[in-house]
Chains A and B, each alone.
Chain A
Amino acid sequence: MEAGRQDDDRLGDIFKALADATRRKILDELTERDGQTLFEICTRLAMKHGLGSSRQAISQHLDVLESVGLVETRREGRYKFHHINTEPLNGLVDRWRRPDCQEDA
């Protein structure tokens, strides 16, 4: 199966988004508790992981994750919450897997 150009670009973007340790930590924290404000994410990264990134830097990491669909934001009144969405990861590497290795057809 040959991947289309668009699909291939999308794949590259997702791997790029996941290639950063801070962004993976953000996804870890959203897995632990989904729906967090920027403040909570920053607090968790600082207190649990000792990351000294600025709020601005974390906000940019969230933008990258959002651009590939791994993070979605929800407005509730005046607040903004961040949610993880793992749907873009589905079937991500199927094109290189042999059919007999796939868990599901």
Chain B
Amino acid sequence: MKIYVTNVLVDDQEKALRFYTDVLGFVKKTDVPTGESRWLTVVSPDDPDGVELLLEPDSHPAVKPFKEALVNDGIPFTSFAVDDVRKEYERLRALGVKFTQEPFEMGPVTTAVFDDTCGNLIQIAQHGPSPEAPKNDG
């Protein structure tokens, strides 16, 4: 058994596809109509055969209060790995993305949290030092 797909619950699949591809930089992998909605997934261009992210409609009545409660408390339910959180933070902010948590370094991990415009907060996490950080040669 292995994990091949994970999901974010989005309020609008088309809007989500634009944000997750045009803004975040993922690429569309699967797009199949399934009755009212689509089986719509994106992948990282760096890992096209890796885990897919399913942009799943949030139409179930239980989802809305759940998402609102998470956002109210600033809780990201999904986390993506990046090489350099600060660089990504600057890039996304320039594209108009709204952050609820600026980059914050805690030991070996640096994180930031942004709004995906589809009702979710997303964390980006960097494990280890920035690629561009000056090397400590002693």
Contacts and interface: CB of A to CB of B under 8 A. Distances in A.
Given A78-B68, A78-B71, A79-B72, A36 B101 contact: yes
Contacts of A22: none
Contact of B101 (A37, A48, A59, A78): A37
Given A40-B101, A78-B72, 9 more contacts: A40-B104, A40-B113, A43-B106, A44-B104, A47-B107, A47-B109, A55-B73, A79-B100, A80-B72
B41 to A, nearest CB: 26
B102 to A, nearest CB: 7
Interface of A: 33, 36-40, 43-44, 47-48, 55, 59, 78-81
Interface in B46-103: 68, 71-76, 100-102
B74 A47 contact: no
Interface of B: 68, 71-76, 100-102, 104, 106-107, 109, 111, 113, 121
A37 B73 contact: yes
B101 to A, nearest CB: 5
